[in-house]
Structure 1
Amino acid sequence: MSADIRVLLVDDDPLVRSGLRLMLGGAPDIEVVAEASDGSEVEPLVALHAPDVVLMDIRMPTVDGLAATEALRGRPGAPEVIVLTTFNTDEHVVRAMRAGAAGFVLKHTPPPEIVAAVRKVAAGEPVLSPAVTRQLMAQVSGGGRSRAAEARARLAVLADREREVAVAVGAGKSNAEIAAELFMSVPTVKTNVSRILAKLGLNNRVQIALLVNDAGEVG
C-alpha cells in the first residue's frame, strides 16, 4: 500500500538528502519516491514519479532551485514546492515564493517540523505565514514604486469583496478570522480565495500575501 504523500528530494549534497530521506522515512504517510542532485533533473523525475511535494534546495551548481521552481510551477498539475535554505533572509527565498513555492524550511529545522511542513503543503496549506513573508520582504530590497504600482494594477481586477479578502490574507488572517471579520461564512471565504487565485493567476495564499504587501495594502 503506497503512502499518502509522495516526495521528491532535490539537493546537491548527498548527506542532506540522506538526512531528509531518513527523517521523512519515519512517517507512515510519507514516501520519498526519488532524489535529484540538481534542478535540471527535476522535471523528468516529476514526470516519472508524480510526487505531491518537492523539497527543493536553492543553491545547486547547474540549475538552481529558483529556476527549477519557476519551470515546475509553470506546468499544469505541478506538485507543491518547499524551498530548502540555510538563511531565512535569502532574497532567493522571496523570489521562490513569487515563483509559486508554498513556503520554505531552514535546513537545521527540527525533523518533526519538516515532516509537518510536508503534510501541510500536501494538504494545500502554505508553510510560510504572511507575517514571516512581510518580515522577509522588509529585509530584501524590492522593486520600489514600480513594483507597488504593478501590484496595485493587478489587484484592481478584483471585486470589492475579493479585495477585502485578499488584504485579510495579506495580514495573515486564517479563513475563520476572515469570515468573522467580514461577516462571511468560511466556505464563502474559501470561494473568494479561489476566485482571487484564478483572477490573478497565482498558485497559493503566500503569493496573494506577497502581492498585497507589494501594493502597500497591509501596514
Structure 2
Amino acid sequence: MVEHQRRPGWAEVEDFLSATLVQGGTEMAAVIESIDAAGMPRIEVAPTAGKLLMLLVRIQGARRVLEIGTLAGFSTIWLARGMPDGGHVTTCEYLPEHAAVARRNLDVAGVGSMVDIRVGAALDTLPTLLGGEPYDFVFIDADKSNNVNYLKWALKLTRPGSVIVMDNVIWEGTILDPDADPDAGAIRAALEFMGASPLLDATAIQTAGSKGWDGFAIAVVRQGSATLGE
C-alpha cells in the first residue's frame, strides 16, 4: 500500500508559482522589507495577483491607470510595469507616512517618474481628477466600506472599454453572511452594484493562497454607454 503524501498547502503552491512564473525581482522583495520595517499591515496583493495586474494592464493596452489604495506601492509597481513608455499611474493613499514609503519604493523600482501619488482620503482626491483624460484601467484596493463610492468614481473617470478590478471580494466567504461583518456587507453591496449596473459587464474569481480564501472582481465599462454624472 502506497502512503499518500501530504498535499502542498495553498501558500506553498503560491510560493512555487511566484518563484516559477512571477519572478518579481529584488525590487519587490525590498517592498516587502519596507512594509515590515515601517510596521505597516501585510495587506499587499500576493505576487501572483500583482503579476496578473501587470498582464491585465498590458493586455488592455492601458496608458493611464488609476489605483485606489497605495500602501507601500507593491501593486503600484506591478501596474506601472504593465504600461508602455509614456504611461502614467495615479494612485490614491490616505496616510502620508504610507505614501512616503511608497514613493521610495517606486523610485528604487525605477517607475517613480510614471506615478503620481495623491495623499488624503480618496473621496476627497478623486474629484480633483475630473476633467482630465479618462483612465483605461482602475484598481480598487482600499477601505471596503467605500467600495460602492469608489466604483461610482471609477465610472466617472473612465470610458467605454476601460477595465475595473476590485480586490478582496470573497472575504473568507463572509459575503454570504454580510450581517456578521460590516466589511463583508460593503463588499457584497459593491458586487451587487457591479451586477446591477447597466454600465458594467462583470465577473469575479475566487482565489486561495497566502491571503486565505479571497478573490477579485473584474469589469469592463460597456461600449456605447455614458459614464455616471453627478
Normalization by structure 1: what TM-score?
0.37
Choose between structure 1 and 2: higher helix proportion.
1
Normalization by structure 2: what TM-score?
0.35
